Amino acid sequence: MNPISPTRVIGGRYVVLAELGRGGMGIVWRAEDRVMGRHVAVKELHLPDGIPPAERLLFRERLLREARTAGRLNDPGIVTVYDVVTDNGVDHIVMELIEARTLADVVAASGPLDERAATAVGQQLIAALRVAHDSGVVHRDVKPSNVMLGPGGRVKLTDFGIAQAADDPRLTGTGALIGSPGYMSPERLESGSVSPADDLWAVGATLFCAVQGVGPFDRESTAATISAVLHSDPPPTRTRGPLGSVITGLLQRAPQARLTGMQAAALLAVSSNGAPDPSTGNTVTTPVTSRLVAPVRQRPWRWVGIALAAGLVLGLVAGLVGGFGLAGSGRPDVTTLTYGQGGDLPVYDYSGSIGSACVNVLPGPGVQIGSSASVTCTNPHVAELFAEWDTVATSRDVPYPRRIDEFAATACAMLFESGQIVEDGKDRLAVIALLPSEGEFVRNTATSGSPSFGERSVSCFLTNADGTQLTGSRVAEVG
């Protein structure tokens, strides 16, 4: 590698000032752009040893192409790429200089982040990756040392220089491994395949490290780390609620079962005001970069449902079913019933405010539930509505979602296990998931042209497993 020299100029334009760091792909210099008069970071690229000449050419083509592609990405959470320069046969990527510590540095120096700070990091990481993925770019090396924590709670994802265009099959078969094994998905380690799902696995591992202080698969050697990714389950985190569910959902082995970026963003769409700045510990107002509906201060799962309604489509079904697998775990017991035309419940026309929505009839085959079934939760009641989800957020005529019953059971089970349900130890709570029948789902658009309340939504009810009555709301209050 080239040494620091007071007279060294890269590409006739960038004056080298100091070394910022180095890693497996090269060395990063602080430099001054003599044309623009600003300081920049210049990454000097060095490919791994042992790559045959023909494959080395493909690697070089990929690196340069992706550096240029990254330069077209425009998001506040992505470090801007300004230029790509070849100097003395060595390729360099010129990037925005970020004066900030990495997530790895912060965790090493100050310990794990608290849940609110880690949630803010996750929101911004996922939003940045959604921009990249929508442009056909896969990062390939998301990890704590590539996450910059700036002032004011700002998060920047750097090192898109080794990203790979998801739509370029010519550059996917080299067989070399670029990245950090502890943050690589199982499918990438096994086959070398790269997709947006690979980045999302890495986000899950990165958030695990943020709240636990170590990566989920960190071992003493590279071989042991790879073996752990391929064969070991990630250890449980100390978090519950949305963040814990997102980490669990992103660290699913099967990519088709893994949460998508949109699903993860919806679950993290919680209030970020008052969260501590992860880089300093000071309290700040963290900007929410998700494109979902902004949260409001009310009982949490109500507005999570609103956020989902704004953005989720049919892909949510497969993701949450595989992502959590709680419905079949034995706790809680979940019963699924359909409502509407041709459904188990011929009539279901009930709504209420989460935390005060209780009914005096048990949802079941042949039962009709309307507004007259409502009772005050402080009085004895048979069931309590604790969550609502929209299955799709479109007025278009779309087919009945496959596996919607599994989605309903899994979504209700996930929220039950989120820590938002208060259990007093006397009752064994069970869950009833109500979902639209196929006739009801199709009839909705055929007659009205747009979804209205209840006709495409999933409703989650709490009951006593033995059929006895409940008293008092079981939904936890929040400020």
Q: Which residues are catalytic?
A: 141
**CB 238: neighbour CB atoms within 10 A?**
10
CA dihedral 404, 410, 416, 420 (to 10 degrees): -80
**What angle, rounded to 10 degrees, do the helices at 241-250 and 196-212 form?**
130
Instruction: Check: CB of residue 40 under 8 Å from CB of residue 82.
Output: yes
- First-to-final CA distance of the chain: 56
Kindly write down the DSSP assignment for every residue of 26-49, as one continuous string: EEEEEEEETTTTEEEEEEEE-PPT
Give dist(CA 162, CA 11) in Å, integer. 20
Q: Is 281 left (phi over 0), alpha (psi -120 to 50) or beta?
A: left
Identity at 172, one-letter amino acid code: T
Locate the DSSP E strands across 394-473: 429-436, 457-464
Give dist(CA 164, CA 58) in Å, integer. 12
- Burial pattern 61-95, b for ≥16 Cβ within 10 A else e, equals ebbbbbbebbbebebebbbbbbbbbebeeebbbbb
Instruction: Check: CB of residue 274 under 8 Å from CB of residue 213.
Output: no
Q: What are 428's two structure tokens?
A: 């064994």
Residue 234's nearest CA partner among 216, 250, 252, 246 is: 216
Helix (H) or strand (E) holding 84: strand 81-87
Q: What are 478's two structure tokens?
A: 């929040």
Q: What are 50's two structure tokens?
A: 């042992």
Q: Is 212 helix (H, G, I), strand (E, B) or coil?
A: helix
